[in-house]
């Protein structure tokens, strides 16, 4: 069992392992079962884009040159050829794999370097002919015949002549990807064909038998020398190689090695250079130098011209030839697997295989890598312009196709195993000699599945790889619940549970504390008011005569009444609401009694709808309590209601006869009867307004008082209207000559009259009720405020 060295850690692993047992890196490339021919064509079309301009922009040409040829470039630093430390342990990359029998994989950009190198050759040729021509134009010039014997090597001229002689047609499918401007199209085609041949579905038997090649390499130049030259020329040597041998260049006979010039087989072991004779580790380490490699002159000349052409014509960054970036490619190659290189290996040894030096590799059908082309053949061939190809290139392609068919027919088990000549083995590049590492075919698992690059393989997927390198943060799945959370959750649960529970509404007490308070207050006030009335007590002294009452009495006392005439007629306005009848009747009873005593004629009027009835009621009450016999139409007339509010009152004040021409009983109030001869308010001796409403009192004062013509105006108002009416009494000039305020005013007037009327009856009850109300307010307020005072005192003490 052969061990496989891990490309990542460099440790040996068993052959049957697919991943490294130390670092879990993949040891074997991802492969897919072979597909049909269409798949192979899609593979080739995928590898060679149809658009030549895009192919120029890409870095693909950098890897077109075989690695072993890259190492031969003269301008490479010696450091690039330094063998890595592992070179001493690993077999050379170009040697067959000990287990698989296939050559070790090469970097994916090998083909691009190959094409770059060859394109630089073409550029070198053209730079001499047309130095100012751009690199893009060289493809056209390339197709044009060049003057013989100028710069082209003889072997290349022979190759072109051989291609021109070939009358085979190039298949359209094979010429499709050939559109590069920098590289010779025929080489691209050739490479494409080689790539196609390496596909397992197409010609798996066309692969060189690397196992046999390995054995041949082991035998070295001995096997090569044992092959008869005739057999090589007749059977296995390809035409172009045959042309090289048969028609050496006349122009540069010195550039070719002697064995090529003479067409003889390579020199034998004795003639082999020391470097080639002993491709040992020591020799490999000393390979980097060009001089040591003993590159033929013709090849070094080509590379020199290539370097010169690239320096002169190519842009700085975009058109850097592939062999300049070979260092970077090499570094990438050493770091890890890049792309499947079985095709590259096969292409590299295609000419050997065609020559019969090596046997085509026989790979199992299921071990061939499956490449999924990102584009279809139709898309590939769509942008191909086959007319641009020169005829000789088409013929060369046809010739190659023919050779392919010949190789396919020659696949036979009886083929002689190919042996790598020693001289060729010695010419292998350092990269090939460097220890190779098994590469993993990343094509399958790196196919882009989304985005604009969907379908492409080998794409660097930065994010997933980076994400994998990170260890995902460990999140505990256990819910972290704090005590506060638990408390809130409990509250929430309790709240939710309480939604479905019917909370019994507390039964409302039939008798509440507040209701008891109200009832108690009511009872106390009723008892205080009813007890004097029930007992007939009149023990409370009446109040003294205030100034306003005194003035009112003085006015009434000054009335000159003539019962036979209308002299001394009094206008009595009863403008209070029935609800205030108790207070207003008692307040005005003594005054009306005094007027009745004087025998004045009364003209009752009102500005409220209920006023006329209240006036009748008031007269009847006074008659009842003061023993008067005042009757309607004889001593008083009821003019009724004055509508219109202040306006109506103004109209009445200015023209009472027009506003109220009739009494309530329908008689003419102003022409006959008590009010005959009275046309204005000034004809009345006195005007008395009984009201509980300050606005009504103000209306009378403002609207009617000016119409009185200096006649006095007395007001009997309730206690609540006193503050608003008093200014008219206390003002100067006085608009109100006297006032009786509330029950106290009536009681004072009665007291001054020394008569007993309603005020006297109500006075004791009023006094007791006031006392009860005051006691209730004081006691209850104290009881309510005491706890608050005590609590505040405790707080103050606590703070202190």
Partner 1 sequence: MMRGKTLISAIIVIVLGFVVLAGYFWPLPVLVSLRDLLLKWAVLLAAVALLVGVVNLFTVHWGKASSGAKGSIYSIVLIFSLVITLIIALYFGPLSTWSLWIYNYIQVPVETSLMAVLAVILVVAVVRMARQRPNLFSVVFIATGVLMLLGSAPLMGIEIPGLYGPEGLRSLLAQIPAVAGARGILLGVALGVIATGVRVLIGSDRPYGG
Q: Which of residues 217-256 bind partner 1 (CB under 8 A)?
A: none
Half-sphere exposure of 713 (CA within 13 A, CB side): 28
Please tell me whether residue 578 binds partner 1 under the rule CB under 8 A.
yes
Please tell me whether residue 582 binds partner 1 under the rule CB under 8 A.
yes
Count of CB atoms situated within 10 Å of the CB of 647:
12
Asked if 747 contacts 542 with a C-beta cutoff of 8 angstroms, the reply is yes
Please tell me whether residue 623 binds partner 1 under the rule CB under 8 A.
no
Q: For residues 285 and 655, which CB has a smaller minimum distance to partner 1 in the complex?
A: 655
**295 to each of 4, 257, 288, 291, 323, how far by Cα in Å?**
34, 10, 11, 7, 17
Of the candidates 283, 330, 299, 294, the one whose C-alpha atom is nearest the C-alpha of residue 113 is: 330
Count of CB atoms situated within 10 Å of the CB of 501:
7
Residue of the chain from 535, 562, 781, 793 that contacts partner 1 (CB under 8 A): 781
Please tell me whether residue 411 binds partner 1 under the rule CB under 8 A.
no
Residue of the chain from 59, 271, 525, 597 that contacts partner 1 (CB under 8 A): 525
CA 665-666-670 angle, to 5 degrees, is 105
Please tell me whether residue 788 binds partner 1 under the rule CB under 8 A.
yes
CA distance 635 to 561: 12
**Burial level of 712, CB count in 10 A (0-12/13-18/19+)?**
buried
Please tell me whether residue 661 binds partner 1 under the rule CB under 8 A.
no
Q: For residues 310 and 642, which CB has a smaller minimum distance to partner 1 in the complex?
A: 642
Residue of the chain from 310, 314, 650, 697 that contacts partner 1 (CB under 8 A): 650
Please tell me whether residue 535 binds partner 1 under the rule CB under 8 A.
no
Residue of the chain from 129, 408, 456, 581 that contacts partner 1 (CB under 8 A): 581
Q: For residues 288 and 738, which CB has a smaller minimum distance to partner 1 in the complex?
A: 738
The residues near 318 (Cβ < 8 Å, ≥ 6 apart) are 57
Please tell me whether residue 647 binds partner 1 under the rule CB under 8 A.
yes
CA distance 724 to 728: 8
Please report, as residue ranges, which positions from 461 to 520 form the binding site for partner 1 (by CB under 8 A).
Answer: 517-518
Please report, as residue ranges, which positions from 695 to 754 form the binding site for partner 1 (by CB under 8 A).
Answer: 698, 719, 722-724, 726-727, 730, 742-744
Give the number of residues in contact with partner 1, rule: CB under 8 A.
74
| The pair of three-digit structure tokens given for residue 304, joined into one six-digit string | 């020199």
Residue of the chain from 463, 476, 784, 796 that contacts partner 1 (CB under 8 A): 784
Q: Tell me which stretch binds partner 1 (CB under 8 A): 159-167, 203-211, 319-327, 765-773.
A: 765-773
Q: For residues 359 and 664, which CB has a smaller minimum distance to partner 1 in the complex?
A: 664
Please report, as residue ranges, which positions from 146 to 205 form the binding site for partner 1 (by CB under 8 A).
Answer: none
Please tell me whether residue 679 binds partner 1 under the rule CB under 8 A.
no
CA distance 479 to 356: 74
Please report, as residue ranges, which positions from 536 to 575 form the binding site for partner 1 (by CB under 8 A).
Answer: 539-541, 543-544, 546-547
Residue of the chain from 491, 527, 777, 790 that contacts partner 1 (CB under 8 A): 777
Residue 646: CB minimum distance to partner 1, A: 9
Please tell me whether residue 17 binds partner 1 under the rule CB under 8 A.
no
Helix (H, G, I), strand (E, B) or coil at 772: helix
| The pair of three-digit structure tokens given for residue 152, joined into one six-digit string | 């082209």
Estimate to the nearest angstrom the gap between the alpha carbon of 712 and the chain centroid.
Answer: 88
Q: For residues 223 and 639, which CB has a smaller minimum distance to partner 1 in the complex?
A: 639
Q: Residue 355: left if φ>0, alpha if ψ -120 to 50, beta else—which one?
A: alpha
The residues near 30 (Cβ < 8 Å, ≥ 6 apart) are 369, 440, 441, 442, 443, 444, 445
Binding flags for partner 1, 602-621, as an x/- string (CB under 8 A):
-------xx-xxx-xx----
Q: For residues 155 and 630, which CB has a smaller minimum distance to partner 1 in the complex?
A: 630
Phi, psi of 361 (to 5 degrees): -75, 135
- Helix axis angle, 758-799 to 513-535, nearest 10°: 150
Residue of the chain from 261, 332, 377, 521 that contacts partner 1 (CB under 8 A): 521
| The pair of three-digit structure tokens given for residue 459, joined into one six-digit string | 């794409």
Q: Tell me which stretch binds partner 1 (CB under 8 A): 31-39, 40-48, 222-230, 776-784.
A: 776-784
């Amino acid at each position: 069992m052969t061990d496989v060295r891990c490309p990542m850690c460099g440790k040996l692993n068993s052959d049957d392992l697919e991943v490294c047992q130390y670092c879990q890196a993949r040891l074997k490339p991802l492969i897919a079962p072979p597909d049909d021919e269409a798949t192979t064509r899609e593979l080739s079309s995928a590898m060679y884009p149809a658009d030549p301009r895009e192919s120029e922009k890409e870095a693909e040409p950098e890897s077109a040159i075989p690695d072993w040829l890259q190492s031969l470039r003269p301008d490479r630093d010696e450091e690039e050829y330094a063998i890595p430390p592992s070179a001493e342990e690993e077999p050379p990359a170009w040697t067959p794999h000990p287990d698989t029998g296939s050559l070790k994989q090469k970097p994916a950009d090998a083909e691009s370097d190959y094409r770059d190198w060859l394109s630089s050759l073409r550029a070198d040729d053209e730079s001499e002919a047309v130095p100012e021509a751009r690199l893009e134009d060289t493809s056209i010039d390339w197709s044009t015949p060049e003057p013989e014997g100028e710069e082209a090597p003889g072997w290349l001229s022979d190759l072109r002549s051989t291609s021109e002689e070939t009358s085979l047609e190039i298949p359209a499918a094979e010429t499709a990807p050939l559109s590069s401007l920098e590289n010779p199209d025929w080489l691209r085609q050739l490479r494409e064909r080689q790539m196609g041949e390496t596909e397992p579905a197409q010609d798996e038997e066309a692969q060189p038998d690397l196992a046999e090649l390995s054995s041949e390499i082991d035998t070295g130049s001995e096997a090569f020398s044992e092959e008869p030259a005739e057999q090589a020329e007749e059977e296995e040597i390809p035409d172009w190689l045959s042309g090289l041998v048969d028609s050496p260049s006349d122009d540069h006979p010195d550039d070719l090695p002697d064995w090529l010039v003479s067409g003889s087989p390579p020199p034998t072991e004795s003639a082999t250079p020391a470097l080639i004779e002993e491709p040992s580790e020591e020799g490999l380490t000393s390979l980097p130098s060009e001089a040591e490699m003993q590159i033929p002159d013709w090849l070094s000349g080509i590379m020199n011209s290539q370097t010169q052409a690239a320096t002169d014509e190519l842009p700085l960054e975009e058109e850097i030839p592939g062999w300049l970036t070979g260092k970077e490619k090499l570094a990438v190659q050493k770091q890890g697997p890049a792309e499947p290189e079985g095709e590259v290996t096969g292409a590299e040894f295609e000419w050997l295989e065609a020559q019969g030096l090596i046997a085509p590799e026989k790979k199992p059908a299921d071990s061939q890598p499956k490449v999924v082309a990102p584009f279809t053949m139709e898309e590939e061939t769509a942008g191909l312009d086959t007319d641009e190809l020169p005829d000789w290139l088409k013929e060369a392609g046809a010739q190659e196709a023919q050779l392919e068919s010949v190789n396919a027919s020659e696949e036979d088990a009886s083929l002689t195993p190919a042996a790598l000549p020693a001289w060729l083995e010695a010419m292998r590049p350092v990269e090939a000699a460097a220890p190779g590492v098994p590469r993993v075919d990343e094509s399958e698992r790196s196919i882009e599945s989304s985005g604009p690059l969907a379908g492409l393989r080998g794409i660097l997927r930065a994010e997933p790889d980076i994400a994998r390198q990170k260890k995902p943060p460990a999140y505990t799945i256990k819910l972290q619940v704090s005590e506060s959370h638990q408390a809130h959750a409990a509250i929430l649960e309790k709240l939710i549970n309480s939604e479905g529970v019917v909370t019994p509404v507390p039964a409302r007490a039939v008798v509440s504390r507040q209701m008891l308070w109200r009832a108690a207050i009511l009872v106390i006030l009723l008892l205080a008011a009813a007890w004097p009335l029930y007992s007939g007590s009149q023990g409370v002294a009446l109040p003294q005569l205030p100034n306003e009452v005194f003035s009112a009495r003085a006015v009434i006392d000054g009335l000159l009444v003539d019962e036979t005439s209308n002299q001394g007629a009094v206008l009595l306005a009863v403008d209070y609401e029935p609800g205030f009848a108790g207070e207003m009747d008692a307040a005005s009873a003594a005054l009306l009694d005094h007027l009745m005593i004087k025998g004045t004629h009364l003209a009752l009027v009102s500005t409220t709808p209920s006023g006329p009835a209240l006036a009748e009621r008031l007269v009847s009450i006074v008659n009842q309590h003061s023993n008067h016999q005042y009757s309607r139409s004889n001593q008083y007339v009821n003019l009724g209601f004055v509508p219109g509010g202040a306006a109506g009152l103004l109209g009445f004040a200015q023209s009472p006869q027009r506003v109220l021409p009739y009494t309530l009983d329908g008689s003419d109030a102003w022409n006959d009867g008590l009010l005959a001869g009275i046309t204005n308010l000034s004809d009345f001796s006195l005007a008395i307004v009984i009201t509980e409403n300050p606005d009504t009192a103000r209306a009378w004062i403002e609207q009617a008082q000016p119409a009185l013509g200096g006649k006095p105006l007395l007001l009997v108002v309730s206690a609540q209207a006193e503050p608003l009416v008093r200014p008219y009494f206390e003002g100067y000039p006085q608009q109100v000559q006297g006032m009786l305020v509330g029950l106290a005013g009536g009681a004072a007037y009665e007291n001054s009259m020394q008569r007993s009327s309603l005020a006297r009856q109500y006075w004791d009850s009023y006094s007791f009720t006031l006392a009860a109300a005051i006691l209730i307010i004081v006691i209850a307020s104290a009881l309510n405020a005491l706890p608050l005072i005590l609590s505040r005192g405790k707080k103050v003490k606590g703070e202190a």
